[in-house]
Structure 1
Amino acid sequence: MRVVGTALIASVAASLALSGCETPTSATTFTPAQAQQAQVVEIGVVETVRPVTIQPGPSGVGAVSGAALGGIAAGSNIGRGSGSVAAGIGGAVLGGMAGNAVESRVTRRAGLEIGVRLESGQLISVTQDADQQFFPGDNVRVLWGANSVRVSR
């Protein structure tokens, strides 16, 4: 049982490591590719704000690391010969499922869907991390970049 706990901890650590590889959708965080790039700025007024959850799709790292650790843990501790192989396969399947679930929980984050009426009259909706508070009636800037849009004060 101690090996299974170690496998789960290692899977969590791998999933935490990949949470740093996300592309920020924040008003205050920029990727190196977004730094020193010109962005078009439009002025607008917040019309709606709705809390959402930003859930990146699975990268596979959690499932693969969990499967590897689960297979090794179960295969080395249960049975001999074909029994060990069967235990290893079962451990890999269960470890992969556990690793995928851990990755899903670790990479989930709070976000906002912000409806902004631009000065042109166009209504847009931007979803980004909830690292700033916005309220209907707030005057905001909308920054349009090559591959990103963000709302900022």
Structure 2
Amino acid sequence: MFKLIISVVLLSLLTGCASADFGSPNTYQRYDVQHLGQMEEATILRVRQITIESSSDSSGLTSIVSAAASAFLGSQVIGNGKGRYVSGALSGAAAGFISQHVSAAMSRHSGIEVFLRRANGQTVVVSQVDDQRFVPGEHVYLVSSGSGYRITH
């Protein structure tokens, strides 16, 4: 029984852990390197905490693969005859449930929504991961590149 539980948990974690990298203002993507970008000064008006959610695997493919593999492993680990079918069904159902919830949790990241006033008076808003702290009234740089806008000190 212990082997079954370990197999289900490990397989669920491995197949359910696909998460999106939202990109940090401190990390550049390959296509942004050695390309001309633009920078302008701006003033922080307001900062608000948000949750960034990736487009998780809405097809359920990770859950299906996890459930199928766990059902197979479960049927091989426990018993013979009808007992192995029951253990396969239970381990498959448990793995599908676990991987679906792990995938949903891994697709959420904390972020910030920053309201800025540009030098020309225009007000804009930029959302990004929250690996830098900003406070209202602070002067920052609004950087544009091929992947969008980012705010930095």
TM score, norm. by length of structure 2: 0.79
Could you list the per-position Cα deviations for residues 63-94 of structure 1 after superposition, in whole angstroms to 9, with x for gaps in the alignment? 2453233222333336636972x654554343
SS at the partner of 1:95?
helix
SS at the partner of 1:4?
helix
Query: Following superposition of structure 1 onto structure 2, how do residues 11-26 of structure 1 map, counting pairs within 5 Å?
Result: 11-16=12-17, 18-19=18-19, 22-24=21-23, 26=24
Could you list the per-position Cα deviations for residues 98-125 of structure 1 after superposition, in whole angstroms to 9, with x for gaps in the alignment? 1121122234322111111111222111
- Specify the alignment match of 1:150 in structure 2: 150
Counterpart CA distance in 2 for 1:136 and 1:79 is: 67
Indicate whether 1:114 and 2:114 are aligned. yes
Work out the percentage of aligned pairs sharing the same amino acid: 21
SS at the partner of 1:33?
helix
- Specify the alignment match of 2:129 in structure 1: 129
TM score, norm. by length of structure 1: 0.79
Query: Following superposition of structure 1 onto structure 2, how do residues 72-87 of structure 1 map, counting pairs within 5 Å?
Result: 72-76=72-76, 77=78, 80=81, 84=85
SS at the partner of 2:32?
coil
Question: Can you give the 5+ residue segments of structure 1 that lack an aligned partner in the other structure?
Answer: none
Q: Give the letter aligned to residue 119 of structure 1.
A: A
Equivalenced residue count is 149
Residue among 18, 23, 28 paired with 1:30? 28
Contact 2:7 2:70 in 1 (8 A): no
Could you list the per-position Cα deviations for residues 31-55 of structure 1 after superposition, in whole angstroms to 9, with x for gaps in the alignment? 2222222212122111110111222
- Specify the alignment match of 2:8 in structure 1: 7
Contact 2:63 2:100 in 1 (8 A): yes
Query: Following superposition of structure 1 onto structure 2, how do residues 84-103 of structure 1 map, counting pairs within 5 Å?
Result: 84=85, 88-89=88-89, 91-103=91-103
Question: Can you give the 5+ residue segments of structure 2 that lack an aligned partner in the other structure?
Answer: none
Counterpart CA distance in 2 for 1:90 and 1:109 is: 31
After superposing the two structures, state which structure 1 stretch, 87-96 or 106-115, moved more.
87-96
The ranges of structure 1 where at least 4 consecutive aligned residues each deviate by more than 6 angstroms after the TM superposition are none
Contact 2:63 2:95 in 1 (8 A): yes
After superposing the two structures, state which structure 1 stretch, 57-66 or 143-152, moved more.
57-66
SS at the partner of 1:6?
helix
Coordinate RMSD, CA, aligned:
2.7
Q: Give the letter aligned to residue 71 of structure 1.
A: A
